[in-house]
């Protein structure tokens, strides 16, 4: 006999993260390495990134995400390397994902490069059934999953200059089934298709404007579209807003503390009925970059 309450709990987890099979980020324009391996090394410097996201504050079991990454170009080659770690907790489940990225870039014109990337991923999935309410505690299917390991591969392309970018990627090609009893899988990690883009407009010597978008398609989930606009003032202060189709509105702020250190914060206000049960979502990140002595920083990259 299947445990209906267990299945309901897992389906509820899926609902709470709908269109969010991969971790969701409001400030995706600074965290591209996690969804597109072709981004590795594209900034031209060694870049370290750390992010903490608390979603739907006040709602029990809501997603909490921590992400850390590093990516760098390989000097005197067209290669880039990346390494990332994501911890994602949703309800009774938690996932730890480690990914390695390799990219290769081709100079297509004076200003543009086309980069190709591949991603290799290892995932540890955990389910704590003690956090669920169930009818039959003796059901043999009612078992914890501890560090259930799976591997995956993904790929992406990234066309970019100092002013614009567009990218297409699939971080995971293979579908992973969780808690599969050979009859029904109550949790599935499906393929996520990402299309991203952005452009920087120079409005004046001290003011830039960058619209950007991220679209995501997942089988069995609603289409997701994030649209954002950020102003960069005096090459230091970033102010912006974002809209997630049918889900949330966001405000963003960032500050270039030093040439190599940038900090950002975003607040999401839910626009669905979930707004009645939570006080919004918070996201904060730090990016630190190492420059060689002979690097000349004319203007900080706006993405």
Q: Please count the CA atoms within 13 angstroms of the CA of 134 that sit on its side-chain side.
A: 22
Query: Cβ(37)–Cβ(155) under 8 Å?
Result: yes
Q: H or E element: which one contains 285?
A: strand 281-290
- Tell me the β-bridge partners of 229: 211, 241
> Which runs of consecutive H residues, i.e. helices, occur in the chain?
4-16
**Can you give the pLDDT at residue 207?**
97
Q: What are the angstrom distances between the C-alpha of 140 and each of 64, 144, 186?
A: 30, 11, 16
**Can you give the pLDDT at residue 299?**
47
* Tens-digit pLDDT string for the chain (303 aa): 343 334 334 434 443 333 345 778 999 999 899 999 999 999 999 999 999 999 999 888 889 999 999 999 999 999 999 999 999 998 888 899 999 999 999 999 999 999 999 999 999 988 887 776 666 666 666 666 677 889 999 999 999 999 999 999 999 998 876 655 555 455 566 789 999 999 999 999 999 999 999 999 987 778 899 999 999 999 999 999 999 998 999 999 999 999 899 999 999 999 998 888 899 999 999 999 987 655 554 445 677
**Can you give the pLDDT at residue 22?**
72
pTM for this model (two decimals): 0.85
**Can you give the pLDDT at residue 8?**
37
Dihedral (Cα; 108, 112, 191, 22), 10-degree rounding: 160
- Residue 182: which region, alpha, beta or left (left: phi > 0; alpha: psi -120 to 50)? left
Residue 104 sits at the vertex; the CA angle it makes with 303 and 235, to the nearest 5 degrees, is 15
The answer for residues whose C-beta is within 8 angstroms of residue 205's C-beta and 6 or more apart is none
Select the CATH number that applies to the domain covering 27-290 from these four: 1.10.10.10, 3.40.640.10, 2.40.160.40, 1.10.620.20: 2.40.160.40
**Can you give the pLDDT at residue 301?**
67
Phi, psi dihedrals of residue 225, rounded to the nearest 5°: -135, 125
Query: Cβ(113)–Cβ(160) under 8 Å?
Result: yes
Q: What tokens does 189 get?
A: 């990690």
**Can you give the pLDDT at residue 218?**
86
Q: What tokens does 67 get?
A: 């992400």
For the chain, what's the residue count?
303
Quote the CA–CA distance of 179 and 110 in Å, as a whole number.
51
């Amino acid at each position: 006999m299947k445990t209906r309450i267990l299945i309901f709990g897992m389906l509820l987890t899926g609902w709470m993260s709908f269109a969010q099979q991969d971790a969701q980020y409001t400030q995706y324009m600074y965290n591209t390495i996690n969804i597109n391996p072709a981004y590795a090394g594209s900034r031209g410097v060694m870049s370290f990134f750390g992010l903490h996201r608390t979603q739907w504050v006040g709602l029990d079991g809501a997603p909490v995400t921590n992400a850390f990454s590093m990516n760098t170009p390989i000097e005197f080659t067209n290669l880039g390397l990346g390494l990332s770690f994501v911890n994602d907790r949703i309800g009774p489940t938690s996932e730890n994902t480690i990914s390695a990225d390799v990219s290769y870039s081709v100079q297509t014109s004076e200003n543009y490069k086309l980069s190709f990337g591949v991603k290799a991923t290892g995932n540890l999935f955990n389910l704590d059934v003690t956090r669920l309410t169930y009818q039959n505690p003796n059901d043999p299917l009612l078992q914890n999953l501890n560090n259930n390991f799976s591997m995956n591969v993904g790929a992406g392309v990234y066309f970019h200059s100092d002013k614009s970018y567009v990218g297409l990627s699939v971080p995971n090609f293979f579908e992973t089934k969780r808690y599969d009893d050979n009859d029904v899988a109550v949790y599935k990690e499906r393929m996520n298709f990402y299309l991203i883009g952005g452009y920087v407009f120079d409005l004046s010597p001290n003011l830039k404007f960058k619209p950007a978008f991220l679209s995501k398609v997942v089988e069995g989930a609603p289409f997701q579209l994030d649209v954002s606009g950020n102003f960069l003032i005096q090459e230091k202060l970033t102010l912006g807003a974002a809209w997630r189709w049918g889900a949330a509105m966001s405000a963003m702020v960032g500050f270039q503390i030093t040439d190599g250190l940038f900090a950002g914060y975003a607040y999401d206000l839910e626009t669905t009925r979930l707004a009645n049960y939570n006080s919004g979502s918070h996201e904060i990140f730090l990016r630190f970059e190492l420059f060689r002595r002979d690097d000349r920083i004319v203007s900080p990259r706006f993405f």
